[in-house]
Chains A and B, each alone.
Chain A
């Protein structure tokens, strides 16, 4: 039973346009969500997080939106750059635990 799902295994976007990566979860106890970016031959790098008390968090070109009623979060990258090409993972956790549940990842390709 996969509690965190990224249903799009890949996404291609033109440079300068918006990239939208989606993530769905099933466990209503999750209260902290993160996005990681992973380049080949490297470990995941933390990108941005959001607590369940918020519905939006912004950091530069990256914005994460959380819709608790739909159990859905999304990562927006504006404008997209070729260096953003990587695999993006969403992860979820519950306060009081150290356990993250990861999605399977979405491979983003930004075309120059």
Chain B
């Protein structure tokens, strides 16, 4: 397996469910990201982790809870979501040097539908 993988690729959940999205990168990177892409909107950064430490939380509601157990894995735990949270959730990784000007590499995304 190479690059950035995400599971599941599709998820349908009710507002009272709890589910988790998983991301794994095989690129030896140290920084990982969660993005949300809603219809007709730009990609919105949600969280950034660098060397397993959260360095950015872009005012994301607490019903989204990230977890980064190591530099290769990133989770997004979901609970009591709202229908407006339905979107494509993308994971990305980058080298994580801290100097900026890094290229981020994206996974295929999880298409989430909240009923």
Q: In the bound complex, how far is the Cα of B109 from the Cα of A36, in angstroms? A: 15
Q: In the bound complex, how far is the Cα of B48 from the Cα of A25, in angstroms? A: 23
Interface residues of B in 55-102 (CB under 8 A from A): 55-56, 90, 92, 94, 96, 98-102
Any B CB within 8 A of the CB of A41: yes
B94, B101, B106, B109 pick with most chain A CB within 10 angstroms: B101
B-contact 0/1 string along A74-100, CB 8 Å cutoff: 000000000000000101011111111
With beta carbons under 8 angstroms apart, the residue of B96, B99, B100, B106 that contacts A44 is B106
B105: which A residues are within 8 A, CB to CB?
46
Name the interface size band of chain A: 20 to 34
Asked whether B48 lies within 8 Å of A95 as measured between CB atoms, the reply is: no
Asked whether B42 lies within 8 Å of A98 as measured between CB atoms, the reply is: no
A96: which B residues are within 8 A, CB to CB?
98-100
Asked whether B40 lies within 8 Å of A43 as measured between CB atoms, the reply is: no
Taking the nearest CB of chain B, how far is it from the CB of A88, in angstroms?
A: 13
Q: In the bound complex, how far is the Cα of B31 from the Cα of A32, in angstroms? A: 17
Given A43-B4, A104-B42, A105-B42, A49:B103 Cβ within 8 A: yes
Asked whether A34 lies within 8 Å of B103 as measured between CB atoms, the reply is: yes
Counting from the closest, the 5 A-B pairs by CB-CB distance are A95-B100, A43-B106, A102-B43, A102-B42, A32-B101
